[in-house]
Amino acid sequence: MFVKICGITNAQDALLSVALGADALGFVFASSPRQVTVDQVRSIHSQIPSSVMTFGVFLGERPEKIVEITHTLGLSGAQIHGNYLPEQIDHISERVMYTVRAIVAGRERLERVKSFSAWAILVDSPSPGSGQVFDWSLVEAVPERTKMIVAGGLTPENVKEAVSVLRPFGVDVSSGVELEPGKKDPMKLRKFIAQARSSDDIDSDDLDVRSRKDAVSDDEDVVPYNWEIGR
């Protein structure tokens, strides 16, 4: 089970997450209580083992800027939220191997996943960043063999059930393991990661997080978003 801890704002939380077994860390560059600067991430990133994946989280940022920040900091990938044309997503995916396209849960939207040129998709609630759980039955619309990362209201108490029911490639959490916005709770982190992997029976092929999903060049319809990360 691929476990991503998002909303990292300091080196202590980053290193603790890694020590407890997190596969990836996320740094929010959009407006949020967890927003970080390029200089902050540069300092944190320099202390993280190279085996751990790191993602910049962007909302509505220009594709060129997303690529620039990702490359400048040496991040593994970019997690993209907001309205983008198909060619803009293609522009990012061609330059950032581990591009994660975030979408709001909704059957019609999830059925269009095949047209996304991204390494993985992240499915969040209709109010992303709110910590609310979405209707898990919606993920039935996701095509098979899609690298799906589930977010939205996950906590140490419900992540085991989410993994068992949804069988995702990975899980993503931010507020569910916090003491306060931008500060992680060590006990919640430990329990979340342990619970996420307690029913882990994903195929070994799915665990190869270094193999990129084949890009698809079909057009992607633009879906309106109205969201501020972390609020």
Catalytic hit among 6, 13, 90, 172: 6
List Cβ neighbours of 49 (8 Å cut-off, separation of 6 or more): 18
**What residue type is 29 in one-letter code?**
F
Taking a C-beta distance cutoff of 8 angstroms, is the pair 178, 185 a contact?
A: yes
DSSP 204: G
Catalytic hit among 13, 23, 124, 172: 124
d(CA 22, CA 2) in angstroms, rounded, equals 8
Beta strands in the chain (DSSP E): 2-5, 24-28, 53-59, 77-81, 98-104, 120-124, 148-150, 170-173, 178-180, 183-184
124 is known as an active-site residue? yes
200 is known as an active-site residue? no
Burial of 92-114, coded b for 16+ CB within 10 Å and e otherwise, reads bbebbebbbbbbbbbeebbebbe
Query: Which are the catalytic amino acids?
Result: 6, 124
